[in-house]
Amino acid sequence: MEVASLLRRKLISLPANASIRDAVKLMAEHNVGLLPIVDSDGRPLAVLSERDVIKALASGASLDTPALQIAQRELVAVTPDTDVYDAVIKMRQRKIRHLLVVNKEGKLAGVLSIRDFMRDEVLSYLGFQAWQPPDYDKPEFMSL
């Protein structure tokens, strides 16, 4: 099962020149907790989470502050053909709840949330993979 099969939401992202105000409006409008910030070609530059916004505002940042200024620049991404099992392993190892999906050109294809993995067919697949790991040299899902 590939992560491409989990991409169901409309792609939502912020342009590089967006403000925190723009981000908050977009998050509220689409009920999301993380927004990728992309360049003019659609390549991810950073991610902005609700926590980033709250921390920035608590430390005195203005809503007009550029979102890119407070965003996390360390990106964790997979390609659409990545196995769901491998994506979950990556999320667990990095202790993250969101994962960027980028195409072969490096352009944003979508964002996966831990919620996207909580569907019956995905959980069944992950359970099978945990007991029958695809490669024995990889850490088993259940041991993380």
Tens digits of per-residue pLDDT, 35-89? 999 999 999 999 999 999 999 999 999 999 999 999 999 999 999 999 888 898 8
Q: How many Å from the N-terminal Cα to the C-terminal Cα in the chain?
A: 20
Burial of 94 (0-12, 13-18, 19+ CB in 10 A): exposed
Mean pLDDT in the chain?
88
Q: H/E element holding 15?
A: strand 14-15
Instruction: Read off the pLDDT band of 141 (50, 70, 90).
Output: very low
Higher pLDDT, 140 or 100: 100
Q: Is the pTM of this model over 0.75?
A: yes
In sequence order, what are the residues at sequence separation of 6 or more whose Cβ sits closer than 8 angstroms to the Cβ of residue 100? 36, 44, 47, 75, 76, 77, 78, 108, 110, 111
- Find the DSSP H helices in the chain: 20-30, 50-58, 67-70, 84-94, 120-131
In sequence order, what are the residues at sequence separation of 6 or more whose Cβ sits closer than 8 angstroms to the Cβ of residue 28? none
What domains does the chain contain, in order, with CATH numbers?
3-133 (3.10.580.10)
CA distance 48 to 65: 13
CA distance 90 to 76: 8
